[in-house]
């Protein structure tokens, strides 16, 4: 027999030498949930092992994140005030604006990405401004998104990540940032964001479930793959610096197609439902803990450059 593939699996050294995919600490983006109030570090019931932090508790958490070697975070806010227009999302003293400043005060070296959307801030829970028939008005929403992104940049965010799925938002936000001298702030849109049941635990964590209807008029149909390629292409043409595909695990095919089609960093979002399911299985001894590394590695192998994951801190302890 000439061909014996097992030769390269004979021991740990050679397996390590020929390994094709490696997970590095800089691949991981760590989500942080920030709430109003003080003295709060409380476990999120729908996301075991993940916490809500008030501003005064961020310092300790951020120091822990840095000590683990992680280099970037993405922020999600839970505001006190909601209205039909989500005005609080761009308030100077909004929860995210305060959180950015606090994180930059204690850890200027930590790379801070912000999720730009309205759904946590609107009383109806949709990702934009509604028209008279209850449908999200695309172009009105763009104006608000521009204000939110700008307010994050002014507060010191390093990168903005619009997750709303409105048409033309990258172009719009790019112009707003540029007109205000933030031409060096990258935009990382959620380009292929599917209407997914995997966001359930997140929506519980930030109370952003739509009060009526669903997000299907703006988020993508999970049956579609060509459409993801069109969406990504448009975002790149509009000036996206990186793109997000979300969720990750049930959409590995989309990640691979994006990798084959575009020369741009691809970020995969391993979302709340994916985390919760795996975490529950591990915590109940159904599968071994090693499955977490294997699962996150599969996202990188599919073509992701970086991964937003609630397992970031856990993985960092293993690396
Ligand atoms: C806001 C937003 C959502 C997530 C990230 N940003 C929820 C949604 O669109 O319903 C989901 C993240 C997760 O499930 O971990 N638009
Ligand atoms: Zn939203």
Q: What is the pLDDT of residue 269?
A: 98
Q: What is the pLDDT of residue 208?
A: 92
Q: Residue of the nearest CA to atom 5 in ligand 1?
A: 163
* CA 76 to ligand 2 centroid distance, Å: 11
Probe residue for ligand 1, chosen from 136, 189, 199, 307 as the CB with the greatest number of ligand atoms within 8 Å:
199
Q: What is the pLDDT of residue 222?
A: 98
Nearby residues for ligand 2 (ion, Cβ within 5 Å):
117, 119, 127
The number of the ligand 1 atom at minimal distance from the alpha carbon of 31 is 15
Locate all alpha helices (DSSP H) within 180-269, ordered by sequence. Answer: 200-206, 226-237, 252-261
Lookup: tokens for 30? 């760590």
Q: Residue of the nearest CA to atom 6 in ligand 1?
A: 163
Owner of token pair 């109806």: 124
Contacts of 204 (CB under 8 A, 6+ apart): 44, 45, 46
* CA 203 to ligand 1 centroid distance, Å: 7
Cα 226 → chain centroid: 22
For the CA of 219, the nearest ligand: 1
Q: What is the pLDDT of residue 55?
A: 98
How far apart, in whole angstroms, are the C-alpha atoms of residue 231 and residue 193?
A: 9
How far apart, in whole angstroms, are the C-alpha atoms of residue 87 and residue 69?
A: 36
Probe residue for ligand 1, chosen from 49, 117, 209, 277 as the CB with the greatest number of ligand atoms within 8 Å:
117
- Ligand 1 interacting residues, C-beta cut-off 6 A: 115, 117, 119, 127, 163, 199, 202-203, 271-272
- 172 backbone dihedrals φ, ψ, rounded to 5°: -65, -50
Q: Residue of the nearest CA to atom 16 in ligand 1?
A: 163
Lookup: tokens for 78? 């839970």
* CA 291 to ligand 2 centroid distance, Å: 30
Q: What is the pLDDT of residue 126?
A: 96
Indicate which residue of 87, 98, 193, 313 is catalytic: 193
The number of the ligand 1 atom at minimal distance from the alpha carbon of 165 is 16
* CA 105 to ligand 1 centroid distance, Å: 27
* CA 128 to ligand 2 centroid distance, Å: 7
Sites in the chain below the pLDDT cut of 50 = none
- The secondary structure of residue 187, as a DSSP letter, is B
Told to judge if 246 belongs to the known catalytic residues of this protein, a careful annotator would answer yes
């Amino acid at each position: 027999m000439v061909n014996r593939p097992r030769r390269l699996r004979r021991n740990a050294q050679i397996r390590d030498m020929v390994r094709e995919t490696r997970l590095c600490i800089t691949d991981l983006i760590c989500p942080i949930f920030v709430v109003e109030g003080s003295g709060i570090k409380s476990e999120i019931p729908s996301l075991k092992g993940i916490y809500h932090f008030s501003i005064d508790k961020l310092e300790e958490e951020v120091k822990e994140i840095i000590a683990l070697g992680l280099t970037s975070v993405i922020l999600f806010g839970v505001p006190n005030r909601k209205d039909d227009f989500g005005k609080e999302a761009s308030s100077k003293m909004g929860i995210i604006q305060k959180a950015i400043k606090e994180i930059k005060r204690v850890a200027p070296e930590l790379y801070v990405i912000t999720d730009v959307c309205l759904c946590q801030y609107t009383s109806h829970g949709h990702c934009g401004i509604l028209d008279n028939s209850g449908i999200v008005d695309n172009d009105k929403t763009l104006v608000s998104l521009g204000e939110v992104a700008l307010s994050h940049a002014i507060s010191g965010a390093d990168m903005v990540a619009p997750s709303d799925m409105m048409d033309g938002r990258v172009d719009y936000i790019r112009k707003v940032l540029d007109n205000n001298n933030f031409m060096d702030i990258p935009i990382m849109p959620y380009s292929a964001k599917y209407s997914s049941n995997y966001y359930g635990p997140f929506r519980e964590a930030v109370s952003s479930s739509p009060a009526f209807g669903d997000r299907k008029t703006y988020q993508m149909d999970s049956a579609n793959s060509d459409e993801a390629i069109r969406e990504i292409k448009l975002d790149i043409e509009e000036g996206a610096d990186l793109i997000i595909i979300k969720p990750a695990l049930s959409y590995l095919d989309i990640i691979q197609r994006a990798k084959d089609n575009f020369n741009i960093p691809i970020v995969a979002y391993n979302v709340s439902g994916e985390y919760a399911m795996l975490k529950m299985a591990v915590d109940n001894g159904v599968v071994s803990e090693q499955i977490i590394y294997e699962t996150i590695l599969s996202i990188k192998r599919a073509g992701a450059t970086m991964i937003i994951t609630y397992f970031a801190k856990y993985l960092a302890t293993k690396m």
